[in-house]
A and B are shown apart, each in its own frame.
Chain A
Amino acid sequence: MLGSTLVTDLESVSADLKLVENVGWLHEVSKATAGESRLEMCIQCGSCGGSCPAAVDMDHTPRHLFALIRAGERDDVLRSNTPWICVSCYQCVVRCPQNIHITDVMYALKGMAVRAGLYQESTAPDFSQTFIDMVEEYGRSYEFGLATRHYLKHFPLRLPGMAPMGFGMLSKQRMAIRPKRIKNMAQLDAILARAKEVEGRDGGEA
Chain B
Amino acid sequence: MTAYLLYPGCSLEAGARAYCQSLKKVSAVLDFTLEEIEDWNCCGATEYLGISRTPAYALISRNLALAAMQANGNRTVIAPCSACYLNLAKADHYMAERPELGRMVNEALAAGGLSYTPGSLEIRHLLDVIVYDIGLEAIASKVVRPLTGLRVAPYLGCMLPRPDYNHRWSDHEHPVELGLLLRALGAEVIDFPLETQCCGGHMTQIGPDTAFELIRRLVYAADQYQADIMAAVCPMCQLNLDAYQDEMNHHFGTHYQMPIVFFTQLMGLAFGLDAKELGFGLELVSARKALAKIGVEAPEPAAAGPARPRKPEGLPVPRPLPMSPRGDALLRKGPQAAEEKEAVK
A residues adjacent to B (C-beta < 8 A): 32, 34-36, 53-54, 56-57, 84-85, 87-91, 93-94, 103, 107-108, 110-111, 114, 123-125, 127-129, 131-132, 135, 139-141, 143, 146-147, 150, 154-155, 158, 161-169, 171-176, 180, 182-184, 187-188, 190-196, 198-199, 202-203, 205-206
- Segment from B158-166, B219-227, B311-319, B334-342 that makes contact with A: B158-166
Beyond A88-B158, A94-B162, A198-B104, is A35–B98 a contact (Cβ under 8 Å)? Answer: yes
Determine whether the beta carbon of A141 is less than 8 Å from that of B45. Answer: yes
B70 to A: closest C-beta gap in Å: 14
Whether B282 sits at the interface, judged by CB under 8 Å, is yes
CB contact between B44 and one of A135, A158, A198 (< 8 Å): that residue: A135
Whether B302 sits at the interface, judged by CB under 8 Å, is yes
8 A-B pairs in the complex with CB atoms less than 8 angstroms apart: A34-B94, A85-B203, A129-B51, A150-B205, A163-B305, A172-B284, A184-B112, A191-B62
Determine whether the beta carbon of B108 is less than 8 Å from that of A195. Answer: yes
Determine whether the beta carbon of A90 is less than 8 Å from that of B101. Answer: no
Determine whether the beta carbon of A87 is less than 8 Å from that of B203. Answer: yes
A155 to B: closest C-beta gap in Å: 7
- Which B137-167 residues have a C-beta within 8 angstroms of A? 158-159, 162-164
- Expressed in whole angstroms, the Cα–Cα distance for A168 and B46 within the complex equals 25
Whether B306 sits at the interface, judged by CB under 8 Å, is yes
A151 to B: closest C-beta gap in Å: 8
- Expressed in whole angstroms, the Cα–Cα distance for A93 and B242 within the complex equals 28
Determine whether the beta carbon of A183 is less than 8 Å from that of B45. Answer: no
- Expressed in whole angstroms, the Cα–Cα distance for A128 and B282 within the complex equals 28
A101 to B: closest C-beta gap in Å: 8
Determine whether the beta carbon of A124 is less than 8 Å from that of B13. Answer: no
A184 to B: closest C-beta gap in Å: 5
Known pairs A57-B210, A90-B162, A172-B281 / 7 extra A-B pairs, C-beta < 8 Å: A88-B158, A127-B206, A164-B305, A165-B284, A176-B13, A191-B112, A196-B52
A153 to B: closest C-beta gap in Å: 11
Size bin of chain B's contact surface: 35 or more
**Binary contact readout B25-61 vs A (1 if CB under 8 angstroms, 0 otherwise):** 0000000000000011110111111111111011100
Determine whether the beta carbon of B306 is less than 8 Å from that of A94. Answer: no
- Expressed in whole angstroms, the Cα–Cα distance for A202 and B100 within the complex equals 9
Determine whether the beta carbon of B59 is less than 8 Å from that of A192. Answer: yes
Whether B68 sits at the interface, judged by CB under 8 Å, is no
Beyond A87-B200, A187-B113, is A34–B51 a contact (Cβ under 8 Å)? Answer: no
Chain B residues with CB under 8 A of A169: 15, 243, 284
Whether B276 sits at the interface, judged by CB under 8 Å, is no
Determine whether the beta carbon of B173 is less than 8 Å from that of A107. Answer: no
- Segment from B119-127, B176-184, B244-252, B290-298 that makes contact with A: B244-252
Determine whether the beta carbon of B58 is less than 8 Å from that of A182. Answer: no
Determine whether the beta carbon of B111 is less than 8 Å from that of A175. Answer: no
Beyond A57-B210, A172-B302, is A164–B246 a contact (Cβ under 8 Å)? Answer: yes
Whether B14 sits at the interface, judged by CB under 8 Å, is yes
B residues adjacent to A (C-beta < 8 A): 10-11, 13-17, 39-42, 44-55, 57-59, 62, 90, 93-94, 97-98, 100-101, 104-105, 107-114, 158-159, 162-164, 172-173, 197-198, 200-203, 205-210, 214, 243-244, 246-247, 250, 281-282, 284, 302-308, 326-327
A10 to B: closest C-beta gap in Å: 39
CB contact between A195 and one of B58, B113, B205, B207 (< 8 Å): that residue: B58
CB contact between B41 and one of A93, A139, A158, A205 (< 8 Å): that residue: A139
B139 to A: closest C-beta gap in Å: 27
- Expressed in whole angstroms, the Cα–Cα distance for A188 and B13 within the complex equals 20
A2 to B: closest C-beta gap in Å: 50
Beyond A90-B158, A131-B48, A192-B58, is A53–B197 a contact (Cβ under 8 Å)? Answer: yes
Determine whether the beta carbon of A184 is less than 8 Å from that of B39. Answer: yes
Chain A residues with CB under 8 A of B159: 88-90
Determine whether the beta carbon of B107 is less than 8 Å from that of A198. Answer: yes
- Expressed in whole angstroms, the Cα–Cα distance for A125 and B16 within the complex equals 26
Kindly report which residue of chain A lies nearest to residue B172, judged by CB atoms: A94
Chain A residues with CB under 8 A of B62: 187-188, 191
Determine whether the beta carbon of A196 is less than 8 Å from that of B54. Answer: yes
Chain B residues with CB under 8 A of A108: 53
Chain A residues with CB under 8 A of B114: 187, 191
CB contact between A132 and one of B47, B97, B107, B162 (< 8 Å): that residue: B47
Chain A residues with CB under 8 A of B55: 192, 195-196, 199
